[in-house]
Structure 1
Amino acid sequence: MATALRLSLCGLILALPLTAAAWCEAPKKLEPVAADDFRTGLARWRLEAEDARAVVTAEGGVLDIATPAGLSLWWREPLSGDYAIRFTALALPAPASAGPHAGRLSDLNMFWNALEADGSAPYPRSGKFAGYDTLPTYYAGFGANANTTMRLRWYTGIERRLLTGYADGAIAEPGEQPMTPQTRLHAGQALTVEIISRQPTAADPVHLRWRAGSNELFTRSDPNPRLHGYFAFRTTASRLQIRDFQILQCR
């Protein structure tokens, strides 16, 4: 069964070729600078888990996260310059340990360009979501709140500021758009996610792009963007599988 699932995923992965990066302007080129093929454990990551029953493994080419509560997994290396983060993600039903949330699809989330208010690396936290409220960072929640929202936020270190998003019905905040099939997780469907962070230019003021497959769901042109810091996967009461994690720079 597991073998059949792996084979079916290969046909679903939507790859983004290195040459198809309009934001990386010639004569610069987009080049891989770091990666994790998830075959040698979690040495390059730092885990923060709210519940000791969380299980996180990196073997056989798959980062497998199964957690009943809040969890963050930090890439240990800081990121800067014009860069892109790419990975392939698969959402599966949350584990039985998630109790009333078992079986749900939810929370393929991430922090990036995170730094403490004094400019230092993020200090260790418990894994509870509220613990990150004081951490200046960008945050995207894909299929969050049991697959009913997709939001882009800026954490100022004082407040979690909603920049833009999608939400179902009564939980929608002012200015949010309705959810669509492109903004939801789908069980058993692998998807390539790309986050782009770059210095804005006069010709292209967009400094942040967030893509899932062929869909560019978020862009930002902020006057004072944050362009360096740390990246983390963030989730809660969920099961996620991540493959082919890589960081590329335009240089």
Structure 2
Amino acid sequence: MGTAVCLPFRGLIGGPIAALALTLPALALAWCEPPRALQRVAADDFRAGLARWRLEAEDVRAVVTATGGVLDIATPAGLTLWWREPLSGDYAVRFTAVALPAPPGAGALAGRLSDLNMFWNATDTDGQPPRERSGRFADYDSLQAYYVGFGANGNTTTRLRLYGDGRRELLAGLAEGTAAEPGEAPITPQARLHLARPMTVEIVSRAPTADDPVHLRWQLDGQPLFTRADPAPRLRGHFALRTTASRLQIRDFEVLQCR
């Protein structure tokens, strides 16, 4: 299948990348080298509503707004927000996220920090853009996609999965105690959500090369948490934010391409 690397911020586990000490711009240069350069090709400053996103919410009480520079998501149940533009080529998605207590409508889950999640390079089984779904998590099992669930399951797991053929294959992960699946590392404070603490997420998708077979980098605050080197990687599709029983605030969303 390829090589999955999980980097819990203390050092490299099982892979050839030694970039932990680099800054975010330096990490960007590591996969976008001269004469090419990173160019911003799309962005949302969250001052003009949700026209560039497609909302799929399991519960009608979900409230999603995009005003004053903030995308604010408060939902008692499953919710997916698709960026309408397809992504391909060598690109990065970057944004800042803040986790706040889940809304009162979440019932027993109210007040928790959980589920800064995302799909990318997602298509339906026929290779077409993802069709509209209900927002219920199980409805997305038929996607072909990569998925990270950061601080999921009540902030006890952070995992990278590959969706395809109706399966959600675990590629790498960190988990707490009995929540751990075979092969997962213990979760660290850096791989959890923290109340009101801004986090910069960067997802890199690029064609592998002979010198650098890594096509997937999922980075937090300039440090790689997951990498992937597949012989047949997914390199195009759609991006979505995904969450459940949570409140998240997103700022400074942008898409960069290496050209």
Give TM-score, length-normalised by structure 2.
0.90
Alignment partner of 1:71 is 2:65: no
How far apart, CA to CA, are the structure 1 residues paired with 2:27 and 2:128?
Answer: 34
Ranges in structure 2 where 5+ consecutive residues have no aligned partner: 1-22
Contact 2:62–2:73 at 8 Å: present in 1 too?
yes
127-136 vs 21-30, which moves further: 21-30
Alignment partner of 1:55 is 2:55: no
Q: 1:146 aligns with which of 144, 147, 154?
A: 154
How far apart, CA to CA, are the structure 1 residues paired with 2:169 and 2:63?
Answer: 31
How far apart, CA to CA, are the structure 1 residues paired with 2:105 and 2:182?
Answer: 35
Superposition deviation, residue 19 in structure 1: 8.5
How far apart, CA to CA, are the structure 1 residues paired with 2:182 and 2:129?
Answer: 33
Q: 2:116 aligns with which of 108, 115, 135?
A: 108
1:145 aligned counterpart, secondary structure:
helix
How far apart, CA to CA, are the structure 2 residues paired with 1:137 and 1:19?
Answer: 24
Q: 2:45 aligns with which of 34, 37, 57?
A: 37
- Please tell me the residue identity of whatever aligns with 1:197: S
Alignment of 1:140-219 (within 5 A): 140-219=148-227
Alignment of 1:237-248 (within 5 A): 237-248=245-256
Contact 1:116–1:122 at 8 Å: present in 2 too?
yes
- Please tell me the residue identity of whatever aligns with 1:194: E
Alignment of 1:16-31 (within 5 A): 16-17=24-25, 20-31=28-39
- Please tell me the residue identity of whatever aligns with 2:249: Q
Contact 2:27–2:222 at 8 Å: present in 1 too?
no
1:8 paired residue number: none
Alignment of 1:215-234 (within 5 A): 215-234=223-242
Superposition deviation, residue 21 in structure 1: 2.4
1:94 paired residue number: 102
CA distance 1:73–1:97, change in 2 (3 Å): same
Contact 2:24–2:223 at 8 Å: present in 1 too?
no
Superposition deviation, residue 157 in structure 1: 3.0
Ranges in structure 1 where 5+ consecutive residues have no aligned partner: 1-14
- Please tell me the residue identity of whatever aligns with 1:244: D
- Please tell me the residue identity of whatever aligns with 1:245: F
1:121 paired residue number: 129
Identity between Structure 1 and Structure 2 (%): 71
**Aligned-residue CA RMSD (Å):** 1.2
CA distance 1:64–1:18, change in 2 (3 Å): farther
How far apart, CA to CA, are the structure 2 residues paired with 1:124 and 1:17?
Answer: 36
- Please tell me the residue identity of whatever aligns with 1:212: L
1:182 aligned counterpart, secondary structure:
helix
Contact 1:19–1:30 at 8 Å: present in 2 too?
no
1:209 aligned counterpart, secondary structure:
strand
2:34 aligned counterpart, secondary structure:
coil
How far apart, CA to CA, are the structure 1 residues paired with 2:223 and 2:192?
Answer: 12
Measured against aligned partners, the alpha-carbon deviations of 1:140-178 in whole angstroms (never above 9, x if no partner) come to: 000000000000000013211000000001110011000
CA distance 1:105–1:25, change in 2 (3 Å): same
- Please tell me the residue identity of whatever aligns with 1:138: Y
- Please tell me the residue identity of whatever aligns with 2:255: I
